[in-house]
Amino acid sequence: MATKGSGLQAKVSRMLSKDFGKPILKPNKPLALRNEVANRKLRQGEASCLTEMSVMMACWKQSEFNHAACTQEVQAFQRCTALAQAERKARMGQESSGQGGRLHPKQANTLLKRHPNLYHPLSCTDGFTELGYYNGSVSETDSGAPCLPWTEFPDYLLQYPGRGLGAHNYCRNPDREANPWCFYRLSSGAIGWAYCDCNQGAVRLSSSSSSSQSGLVEVYLNGHWGAVCDSHWTERDASVICRQLGLGEIGTPLRHAHFGTSSGIFHFQRLGCHGDEDFLLKCKNRKFMTNDCNHGNEAGVVCVPPEGSGAPLRLVGGTEDFEGRVEVYHNGRWGTICDDQWDDMDAEVVCRQLGFSGTPKAWSWAQFGSGSGPILLDEVRCSGNELSLEECVHSGWGEHNCDHVEDAAVSCNPYSDGVVRLVDGDSPSEGRVEIYYNGAWGSVCDDSWTEVNAQVVCRQLRFSGTPKAWSWAQFGSGSGPILLDEVRCSGNELSLEECVHSGWGEHNCDHVEDAAVSCNPYSDGVVRLVDGDSPSEGRVEIYYNGAWGSVCDDSWTEVNAQVVCRQLRFRGRARVSAQGRYGAGSGLILLDEVQCKGGERSLLGCAHAAWGRHDCAHSEDVGVQCEGEGETNEIPQPSSETGAPVRLVDGESPREGRVEVLLGGEWGSVCDDGWTDDHAAVVCKQLGYM
C-alpha cells in the first residue's frame, strides 16, 4: 500500500508534468487598486497564494522532496497564507462596520507597500453558476494583450471537452481555475498565458447631476478608469456606450466636458464605432491616445432619444461616417429598410435628416452588408422635400416581402473626383497617396513617381513643406483599386488629376508599388518631447536632414534642458529627467556632447559633436521636464497669403478640424457665437478648398 508521502509525491509530479496541461508556475502580479468594478469579497473556498504554493512545490520536486532545501519557499507560502487570512478577517470586520468589503485607501496603500506582489483575482462570473466555467466574451489578458484562438491548442480542446473551448479567443477556465485565463503571444514571439481582466472595457457615466442616463464617459482599461477625447466623438460612439450600459439604443454625444472634467487620464483618441456594436471593445477602428487631449475636451453622453426629429436613423457598415446600410429606430428596436423602390430621392432625405451635405446616392442589394434585425420599412417613396424618412410614403411599419440581401443603403458623399488624401502616416503631412474617383478611393502606382509629382500633391493639400516622393508602399499597401499609374507632372499643376497619366484604372502594378509622399513642415533643428505624460515633458528628439533622432545624455545639463524648454516656448524651470524615464528611442541618435551656454534660442545654436557622431546607445537618450505654459508640436497648416493665417486642428483629415488663427505670433481659437456656414465657407476658401 502506498504511503501518504509517496501519494503526495505522485500527485505533485503529475501536476508539474507536461501532460498535466497549463504550466503551474504563475507570474507574480501586483495588487491592482481599482474602483467599484473590482471591489468584491473572495468567494468561500477561493484559492489564495497560488504562486507561492507553485514555487514551493516546484522546489520540492527539484530537490527530490528534501524539505530542508526549500525552507525559504515554504516560509514564503506560510507568510502569504497568514497574510491572506488576516486580510480576510479584516475585510469581514469592515463589512460588519458598513464599509462594503473595501479597504480604506490608507489601509490599501499600507498593504501594497508591505506586500507589493499580492494579487486578488477579479470577479469573472458569467456562466460560473450554470456551467461551472466562465462563458463570457472577454478576449484580452489583464495587461491588454489579445488572446490567441483556442483552436491553436488542439490538446486543450481534447483534454477539456464541454468546457467552453472552441473556434474563438475568449477567456476560459477549463481546468477549474478560480479565474479565466488565455494564451497570448509575447513580444519575443513565444507563447505565454495570463489571467483575464473581466472588467476590461467596462464603461461608467460620471456626472454631478442626479440623472443615471447621462454623464462623462469613462472606460476601464488595464486597471485604470480614463476618459474619451471628444475630437472624434460621434452619435455612433454614443449609441454604443448607451447600449453597453443597458440605457437604450440611442445616445446623443456631448463635447467640451459638458459634465465636468475627468480627474484621470485619457484612454481613447477615438472609438470609431459603426454604431451597431454591442460594446465598445467591438469597435474595430478605436484608436488609443497618440496626440495630446487636454482636460476640458472630455466626451459625454445622454442616453435618451432626441424628440421631434422623426424616427432616428443611422448608417452602418461603411468605412466613412457618411455611408452605410440605412437602419431606422422604431418601437425600441433598430431595423433595416428594403431596397424596393429605393432611389436617390430617398437617399437625399436620409442625408438631410442625418445632417450630411454631400451628394446623395442610393445603394441596393446590401451594398454595405446585410443586417440581422427586423426589416421595418419597404416600398419607401420620397419626394425629396421631406425632413425625415418617416414622412415619406411607405408600406407600413414591419410590412415587407424582402430578405436582408435587399437591405437599402446610402452614401452622402462630400468628395469630388480628383480629391487626394494621405493615409497611414505618422502625421497629416505624410502617407500613402490616395485619390478619389467615381465614388471610391484608390491608390497611385509608383511608376515614374518623382519629387515633382510629390510637389503637386503637397500643393493640392495646401502643405508648404519640402515635398518628398516615396515608392514601394513606404506607408503600407492599400486594399482598394489602383486608380492611377505613370503619373508625370510638370510641377505647375494645381491637382494630381491635371497631370499626365495612363488613364483612370489603367495600370500594371500591385499594391506593393503604392506611391506615397511626405510634405515636410519641419526645418533642421526643430525639437519635440516624446513619450511623456504631458506636452511639457518627454524624451528630447531633434529634426535634421529629413528625420527625427534622439540626443545622447553625455555632458547633458540643466542649462541644455533650459534651452530646449525655451525653444518650445515654456517659460518656467527646466529639469533633466532620470535616465530612461521616457523610454529608449528607436531611430537615429543625432546629437552627442551637447554643451549650451544658456543664452541660445535653440538647441541648434549649442556646441555639439558632428551630426550623427556619437558613442551612445538609446538607453542614454536624454529627457527633460519643462514648467509653465508652452506650445505643442502640432503641425501648422498652411494658409492663404492674404489675411491672418488660419489652420484646422484635430480633424481626421487636413480638410476638417477646429479653426485657429495666427495673431501676434500665437495661434488661438475662434468662439462659435454667431458662427454659420457662411463663415465656414470663408475659411474653406482661404485654405484653398473651394
pLDDT of residue 88: 56
Note down the domain range covering 583: 526-627
Cα distances from 264 to residues 144, 257, 294, 302, 591, in angstroms, run: 19, 13, 11, 21, 35
Other residues' Cβ atoms within 10 Å of the Cβ of residue 565: 26
* Main-chain phi, psi angles of 191, to 5 degrees: -95, 130
Residue 295 has pLDDT above 90, yes or no: no
Tens of pLDDT, residue by residue over 439-472, are 788 999 999 999 999 999 999 988 877 788 999 9
Residue scoring higher pLDDT (80 or 37): 80
Asked if 536 and 619 sit in the same domain, the reply is yes
- Our CA dihedral for 501, 502, 504, 508, rounded to 10 degrees, sits at -130
Asked if 480 and 556 sit in the same domain, the reply is no
640 falls in which pLDDT band (50, 70, 90)? very low
* Main-chain phi, psi angles of 8, to 5 degrees: -65, -40
Among 120, 221, 202, 124, smallest CA distance to 164 is for: 124
Task: Answer whether residue 490 is part of any domain.
Answer: yes
Task: Answer whether residue 52 is part of any domain.
Answer: no
Domain end position, chosen among 501, 518, 535: 518
222 falls in which pLDDT band (50, 70, 90)? low
Task: Answer whether residue 206 is part of any domain.
Answer: yes
DSSP 207-236: -SSS-SSEEEEEEEETTEEEEEBGGG--HH
The SS3 assignment for 85 reads helix
159 falls in which pLDDT band (50, 70, 90)? confident
Task: Answer whether residue 587 is part of any domain.
Answer: yes
pTM: 0.46
pLDDT of residue 666: 60
Among 311, 286, 310, 306, smallest CA distance to 242 is for: 306
132 falls in which pLDDT band (50, 70, 90)? confident
**What's the domain count of the chain?**
6
Among 271, 262, 301, 274, smallest CA distance to 289 is for: 271
- CATH number for the domain spanning 662: value is 3.10.250.10
What is the DSSP-derived secondary structure letter of residue 496?
A: G
Asked if 492 and 456 sit in the same domain, the reply is yes
Task: Answer whether residue 89 is part of any domain.
Answer: no
Among 192, 197, 196, smallest CA distance to 224 is for: 197
173, 125 in Cβ contact below 8 A?
Answer: no
Among 305, 276, 456, smallest CA distance to 372 is for: 276
Asked if 186 and 268 sit in the same domain, the reply is no
591, 551 in Cβ contact below 8 A?
Answer: yes
Residue scoring higher pLDDT (478 or 87): 478
Asked if 439 and 508 sit in the same domain, the reply is yes
Tens of pLDDT, residue by residue over 3-27, are 434 444 444 444 444 444 444 333 3
Asked if 650 and 601 sit in the same domain, the reply is no
Average pLDDT, stretch 387-395?
A: 92
Asked if 207 and 194 sit in the same domain, the reply is no
Task: Answer whether residue 110 is part of any domain.
Answer: no
Three cell numbers written together for 150? 483556442
- List the single range of 13-22, 306-315, 474-483 with lowest mean pLDDT: 13-22
Asked if 541 and 617 sit in the same domain, the reply is yes
Average pLDDT, stretch 538-559?
A: 88
Domain end position, chosen among 166, 199, 232: 199
Tens of pLDDT, residue by residue over 164-175, are 899 898 888 888
Task: Answer whether residue 348 is part of any domain.
Answer: yes
Asked if 249 and 336 sit in the same domain, the reply is no
How far, in Å, CA of 640 to CA of 662, rounded?
Answer: 12
Rg (CA), the chain: 30
Domain end position, chosen among 390, 413, 436: 413
Three cell numbers written together for 654? 487636413
DSSP 499-520: SB-S-TT-----GGGB-EEEEE
How far, in Å, CA of 656 to CA of 73, rounded?
Answer: 62
Asked if 374 and 461 sit in the same domain, the reply is no
- CATH number for the domain spanning 150: value is 2.40.20.10
Asked if 233 and 161 sit in the same domain, the reply is no
Residue 233 has pLDDT above 70, yes or no: yes
Task: Answer whether residue 82 is part of any domain.
Answer: no
Cα distances from 661 to residues 264, 475, 655, 664, 684, in angstroms, run: 30, 31, 16, 10, 13
pLDDT of residue 235: 84
Residue 302 has pLDDT above 50, yes or no: yes
How far, in Å, CA of 682 to CA of 218, rounded?
Answer: 37
Asked if 218 and 235 sit in the same domain, the reply is yes
